[in-house]
């Protein structure tokens, strides 16, 4: 028999398709053709597979080899098909029994000596395999920890093609060391106790963490904007297992596990540099569509330092995901949707020289420069930012204090308590956070007190706020009410929310 | 010197393959038919009436890979053109024909093995 087939998974964004890998060996001149819309990395698999087979002392068939990846219309990319092609080829060459591999999914890139290297997107691939009814999957040992997150499918971790062959021929299976599923909560390297002073910014960070409200921090260099922003994940509650799986799946597609463990329950923080491009921000790519910073920050924090220095189109590309919570990328090879529910934290200097604060005595910028600088943050984007907070330079009193500020753990307790109040209120709704209340529900079910609404309507009449702004203020006021323990936002809560939103005129 | 010994190896391979074909009742029509575009090692007529154009690859070791690996797509297409050229010049245009390849591996002790693949295109 010179025909064999096995399975692997092709990924389009987070969505996986089980792919049948067929290999036919026919008489004829030595040739190798790979069918099924492979990209460059996948076309190179021929040379990797060949070298791996020869270096494992197996026989490379000097005949006409046809490899078909079906469904043929689906564009396939990357190196994760190497192992499946290699095994199917050896099977077609009659060195492995064919029934052993037909229902197994193989994932892994081959090195020239036959070792199995880690690949991207193992978790989403296994989810797709499970949905398709696959019972057994072979994954690279390097991806075993991530693969174990997938329940209901037998995972076999393999390090070398020889190991796989021993398993398929003799049933010998070295039991890979089981990783204890160890969900890691906060690691405690960053703590809000490190931040000296800054009561308003601390409060704003707490409100942002409680209700999921987007925030802009404005202050001179060295005041602690970055310090505060980096610590926001430490006061966010630990992710649920389901949320953590979503985060891990996105990071798996991007291949960004260097900075984050697959079993971390801490909310991710992604801080792209301000020279980043639109594609890097929202995701994209011609062959394999990869998630951008917005999706990597899903269920966590997207922090953009020096926001006015960003090319304006880059920040504005976040406008739609901020509303929708997802990013849909359309390319010629297809449409891909990534989740993108993040807390946006922007930081900015008050002016180009950075010293326009307090009385601005040391600032060397002209008034026009100052106005133009923050004006680079477009109106529609700023309309989506719930809070604009000044971070003032730290004074001698705060720096001289030897007692530390409130720790992240203490703040997190309050955040969790306030979120629990909100969750109870929304127990019959589809959303969980105050920032997610749809505007229709705001007008009907979740109105603040009467006098507070009158105040907001007056502001609307005076065109001080937009309709979207009015809704944003009500959402923040609900968070303030949760923190203060009010059952309904009072006039005071609404005024404070209004103040936080309009803290600076742009 | 080297070139001469390679020529001898090649001629030996072609001779061996000719014997192999005669044993199988094929008629050898021409050896080393050469025009400007290239050369056909053996042209044979099978008992079934099909013309066979045979490329012989002879190796004294597999250090440079399997003999068949030396025949790439470009070379195979040149064989095709040459075959059509031969048929046209010999008044047989339109006859059934096929392209075969034969690999001859000569071992250290002088013994040889033939691998014959018929109809590769």
Q: Can you give the residue ranges of every domain in chain A?
A: 3-170, 192-411, 437-506
Confidence of residue A505 (pLDDT cuts 50, 70, 90): very low
Let me know if domain B2-117 sits in CATH 3.30.530.20: no
Choosing among 3.40.50.300, 1.20.1740.10, 3.60.21.10, 3.20.20.70, the CATH entry for A192-411 is 3.40.50.300
Answer whether residue B63 shows pLDDT above 80: no
Task: Supply the pLDDT for residue B2.
Answer: 54
Task: Supply the pLDDT for residue B4.
Answer: 62
Task: Supply the pLDDT for residue B3.
Answer: 57
Q: SS in 3 state form for A141-177? A: HHHHHHHCCCCCCEEEEECEHHHHHHHHHHCCCCCCC
Q: What is the mean pLDDT of residues A282-294?
A: 87
Angle between helices A199-211 and A225-235 (to 10 degrees): 40
Alpha carbon separation from A303 to A229, A284, A300, A394 (Å, rounded): 7, 20, 10, 22
B8 against A299, higher pLDDT: A299
Write out pLDDT tens, residues A205-255. Answer: 999 999 999 999 998 888 889 999 999 999 999 998 889 888 999 998 888
Answer whether residue A161 shows pLDDT above 90: yes
pTM for this prediction = 0.81
Answer whether A211's CB lies under 8 Å from A433's CB. yes
Write out pLDDT tens, residues A100-110. Answer: 898 999 999 99
Q: Give the chain A residue whose CA is nearest to the CA of B121.
A: A28
Other Cβ atoms closer than 10 A to A408: 24
Task: Supply the pLDDT for residue A179.
Answer: 66
| Average pLDDT of every residue of chain B | 87
> Are B120 and A28 inside 8 Å of each other by CB?
yes
Interface check A28 vs B, CB under 8 A: yes
Three-class SS state of A64 = strand
Task: Supply the pLDDT for residue A414.
Answer: 93
How far is it, in rounded angstroms, from Cα A45 to Cα A114? Answer: 13
Q: Give B68's contacts in chain A (Cβ within 8 Å).
A: 29-30, 62
> Are B117 and A62 inside 8 Å of each other by CB?
no
Q: Give B76's contacts in chain A (Cβ within 8 Å).
A: 29
Q: Which of A11, A245, A253, A81 is nearest to A151 (CA)?
A: A245
Task: Supply the pLDDT for residue A167.
Answer: 92
Q: Give the chain A residue whose CA is nearest to the CA of B103.
A: A29
Other Cβ atoms closer than 10 A to A57: 8
Task: Supply the pLDDT for residue A270.
Answer: 92
Write out pLDDT tens, residues A168-191. Answer: 998 887 766 666 667 777 777 888
Which residues, at least 6 apart from B60, have a Cβ–Cβ distance to it below 8 Å?
B9, B105, B106
Q: Give B117's contacts in chain A (Cβ within 8 Å).
A: 27-29
Write out pLDDT tens, residues A4-23. Answer: 999 999 998 888 999 999 99
Task: Supply the pLDDT for residue B1.
Answer: 45
Q: What is the mean pLDDT of residues A255-260?
A: 73
Share of chain B above pLDDT 90, in %: 50
Residues 62-121 of B with CB under 8 A from A: 66, 68-69, 71, 73, 76, 101, 117, 120
Task: Supply the pLDDT for residue A229.
Answer: 93
Task: Supply the pLDDT for residue B95.
Answer: 87
Q: Domain segments of chain B: what residues?
A: 2-117
**Total beta-carbon pairs less than 8 A apart between chain A and chain B:** 18
Answer whether residue A504 shows pLDDT above 60: no
Say whether A192-411 and A3-170 share the same fold. Answer: no
Q: Give A30's contacts in chain B (Cβ within 8 Å).
A: 66, 68-69, 71
Task: Supply the pLDDT for residue A506.
Answer: 38
Write out pLDDT tens, residues A430-458. Answer: 888 899 888 888 888 898 999 999 999 99
Write out pLDDT tens, residues A356-406. Answer: 877 777 888 888 888 888 888 888 888 889 999 888 888 777 777 777 788
Share of chain A above pLDDT 90, in %: 52
For domain A3-170, the CATH class is alpha beta
Distance of residue A30 Cα from the nearest chain B Cα, in angstroms: 6
ipTM: 0.73
Indicate the helix (H) or strand (E) that contains A458. helix A450-461
Alpha carbon separation from A438 to A311, A447, A455 (Å, rounded): 31, 12, 21
| Average pLDDT of every residue of chain A | 89
Phi and psi at residue A275, to the nearest 5°: -90, 10
């Amino acid at each position: 028999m010179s025909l064999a087939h096995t399975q692997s998974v092709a990924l389009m964004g987070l969505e996986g398709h089980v792919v049948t890998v067929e290999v036919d060996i026919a008489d004829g001149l030595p040739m190798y053709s790979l069918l099924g819309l492979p990209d460059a990395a996948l076309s190179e698999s021929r040379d990797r597979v060949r070298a791996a087979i020869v270096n494992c002392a197996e026989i490379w068939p000097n005949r006409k080899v046809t490899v078909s990846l079906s469904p043929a219309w689906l564009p396939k990319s990357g190196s994760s098909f190497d192992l499946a092609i290699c095994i199917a080829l050896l099977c077609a060459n009659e060195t492995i029994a064919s029934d052993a591999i037909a229902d197994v999914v193989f994932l892994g890139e081959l090195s020239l000596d036959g070792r199995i290297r880690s690949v991207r997107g193992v978790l989403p691939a296994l989810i797709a395999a499970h949905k398709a009814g696959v019972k057994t999957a072979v994954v690279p040992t390097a991806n075993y920890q991530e693969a174990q997150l997938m329940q209901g499918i037998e995972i076999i971790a393999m390090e070398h093609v020889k190991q796989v062959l021993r398993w398929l021929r003799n049933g010998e299976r070295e039991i890979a060391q089981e990783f204890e599923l160890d969900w890691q909560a906060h690691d405690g390297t960053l703590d809000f106790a490190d931040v000296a002073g800054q009561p308003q910014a601390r409060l704003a960070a707490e409100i942002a963490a409680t209700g999921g409200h987007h925030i802009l921090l404005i202050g001179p260099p060295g005041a602690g904007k970055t310090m505060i922003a980096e610590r926001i994940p430490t006061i966010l509650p630990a992710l649920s297992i389901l949320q953590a799986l979503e985060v891990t799946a996105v990071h798996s597609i991007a291949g960004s596990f260097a900075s984050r463990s697959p079993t971390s329950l801490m909310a991710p923080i992604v801080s792209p540099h301000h020279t980043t491009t639109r594609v890097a921000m929202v995701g994209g790519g011609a062959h394999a569509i990869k998630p951008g910073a917005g999706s990597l920050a899903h269920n966590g924090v997207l922090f953009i330092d020096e926001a006015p220095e960003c090319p304006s189109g880059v920040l504005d590309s976040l406008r739609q995901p901020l509303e929708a919570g997802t990013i849909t990328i359309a390319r010629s090879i297809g449409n891909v949707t990534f989740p993108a529910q993040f807390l946006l934290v922007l930081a900015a200097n008050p002016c180009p020289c950075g010293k326009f604060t307090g009385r601005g005595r040391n600032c060397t910028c002209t008034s026009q420069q100052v106005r133009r600088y923050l004006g680079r943050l477009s109106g529609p984007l700023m309309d989506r930012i719930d809070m604009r907070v000044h971070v003032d330079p730290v004074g001698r009193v705060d720096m001289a204090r030897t007692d530390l500020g409130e720790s992240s753990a203490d703040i997190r307790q309050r955040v969790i308590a306030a979120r629990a109040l909100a969750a109870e209120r929304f127990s019959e709704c589809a959303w969980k956070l105050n920032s997610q209340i749809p505007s229709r529900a705001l007008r009907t079910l979740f109105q603040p007190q009467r006098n507070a609404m009158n105040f907001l309507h007056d502001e609307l009449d005076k065109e001080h706020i937009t309709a979207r702004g009015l809704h944003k203020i009500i959402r923040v006021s609900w968070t303030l009410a949760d923190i203060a323990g009010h059952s309904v936002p009072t006039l005071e809560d609404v005024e404070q929310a209004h103040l936080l939103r309009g803290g600076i005129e742009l | 010197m080297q070139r001469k010994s390679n020529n001898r190896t090649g001629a030996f391979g072609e001779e061996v393959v000719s014997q192999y074909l005669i044993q199988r009742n094929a008629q050898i029509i021409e050896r080393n038919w050469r025009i400007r575009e290239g050369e056909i090692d053996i042209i044979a007529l099978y008992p079934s009436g099909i013309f066979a154009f045979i490329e012989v690859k002879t190796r004294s070791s597999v250090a440079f890979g399997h003999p068949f690996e030396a025949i790439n797509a470009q070379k195979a297409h040149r064989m095709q053109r040459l075959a059509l050229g031969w048929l046209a010049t010999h008044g047989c245009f339109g006859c059934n024909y096929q392209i075969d390849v034969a690999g001859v591996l000569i071992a250290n002790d002088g013994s040889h093995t033939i691998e014959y693949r018929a109809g590769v295109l």
